[in-house]
Amino acid sequence: MEQGFLKRTKIVATIGPATESTEKLSALMKAGLNVCRLNMSHGDHKEHGIRVKNIRAQSQKDGIRVAILQDLSGPKIRIGDFETETITLIPGAFITLTTKKIIGTEKKVSVSYSRLPKEVKKGMYIMLNDGRQKLEVIKVDGDEIKTKIIVGGVIKGRRGVNVPGAYLSLSSITDKDKEDIVFGIKENVDMMALSFVRTPEDILTLRDILKKGKKDIAIISKIETQEAVDNIDEIVRLSDGIMVARGDLAIEIGAEHVPVVQKMIIKKCNAMGVPVIVATQMLESMINSPVPTRAEVSDIANSIFDGTDAIMLSEETALGKFPVEAVNVMTHVAQEVEESMYSNGFFRSKDSLDDSSADAVSHSVVCTARDLNAKAIVALTQSGGTARLITRHKSPQYVLACSPHERVLNRLMLSFGCVPVLLPHLKDLESALVAVKKEVKKIMNLKTGDIIIVSAGVPFGKPGSTNMMIVETV
């Protein structure tokens, strides 16, 4: 069988200096990579342009479909530079944050967000350096915030700043993001991840920019703040995908709350047919080690049991010493978990989303496939919507999404158990069924007499017309 049948869980890997060569990309794809992530917080357009070119060339050469996800930097608050390379913050001492541009010392350092003094108050905590240092706000005076050091340590300049629980009025799309969006449109990326989403309006703003650029690019909303968690229902409804970005989310809401929030978000995404990615520190030890920790393996497994569509690697593949090994670990863990799920009768049948014929047909398709022990489910789709509705049920059968549109197929690379199949434009349903049986038999090694379940619609070829289920025998 093809690479698409290695496992149902999709793997997203960040492409960086360690993996940008065609040789490494080929190895990653063969190991089970489905989506290549470009982190716009690092590297310039020239570097990322070369990566896009290499990804597409190697994908075509190996005959393995991969999608490209551009991850926008978003509004990151940072402290300024210090007089020396590092300073040491002493617990119990005081340090002032100022919006004025100064060279920092142990007593005072600048902060990049000009409205911060207006949006924090006495008693709030300010976290620095990915939560490694903790400050308590003692007093706000004009453009200065006097803080007491609660958790100290050595810190370099330009480190990140988080304010847990604060509803900051930062724009989710910065000037840099706008330049990166233009780059993404030019490079024809398949998806864009929007960082630090807070409200539904953030998604609509990006959607409007993409519309003006005349590009239908999927929007993946990154959940990293308490405000996003509070608005999760509407954010999921408006997004093409969700990323549970556990790094900043843990700093913002507390690490102990992340597992519960992760399960809640996955459940909502599954219910609404929106693909969801679990990200951050999934195999962090493999940046420098050829083998994972037991806790990391359990983290991957439990995320899949929770119902995630995809799992993501960041520094592990961008800069790590063992990027291919990391993808292999994810693939092998996914295979074991999926085998356990389905051998124990796992079946995540969902309540109906609405009263649409497409939703009703999708539910009937997975139930019939289970009852008849079908070898595969086939979704004839123009927009990818029906395929996503089917995959939300997490059926044991692979869902072969057949479409004449490359962009639709690439976007489906995030959906659990979905294998995109390019099917040329056909004039009617009858000719489509003939072509489908021939293609499915070839790529799945089906035998004569095997059953497949097909979802389709009349009028044929019209988006949103899914209204029938067909039981076909090979």
- Residues identified as active-site: 37, 78, 222, 280
Q: How far apart, in whole angstroms, are the C-alpha atoms of residue 140 and residue 117?
A: 6
Helix 175-187 / helix 200-212 crossing angle, nearest 10 deg: 50
Which residues, 6+ apart, have CB-to-CB distance to 241 below 8 Å? 191, 218, 219, 220, 221, 274, 275, 276, 277, 414
| The two structure tokens encoding residue 48 | 């990322």
Nearest one of 72, 69, 421 to 277, comparing CA atoms? 69
Cα distances (Å, whole numbers) of residue 333 to 88, 220, 326: 41, 25, 11
What's at 411, amino acid-wise? R
Residue 3: φ, ψ to 5° = -55, -30
CB 163, CB 126: distance < 8 Å: yes
Q: How far apart, in whole angstroms, are the C-alpha atoms of residue 364 and residue 466?
A: 12
- Per DSSP, 240 falls in state S
What Rg, from alpha-carbon coordinates, does the chain have? 24
Q: Say how many C-beta atoms besides its own lie within 10 A of residue 462's C-beta.
A: 10
Which residues, 6+ apart, have CB-to-CB distance to 152 below 8 Å? 88, 89, 90, 91, 93, 133
Helix 294-306 / helix 258-272 crossing angle, nearest 10 deg: 30
- Per DSSP, 93 falls in state -
- Per DSSP, 199 falls in state S
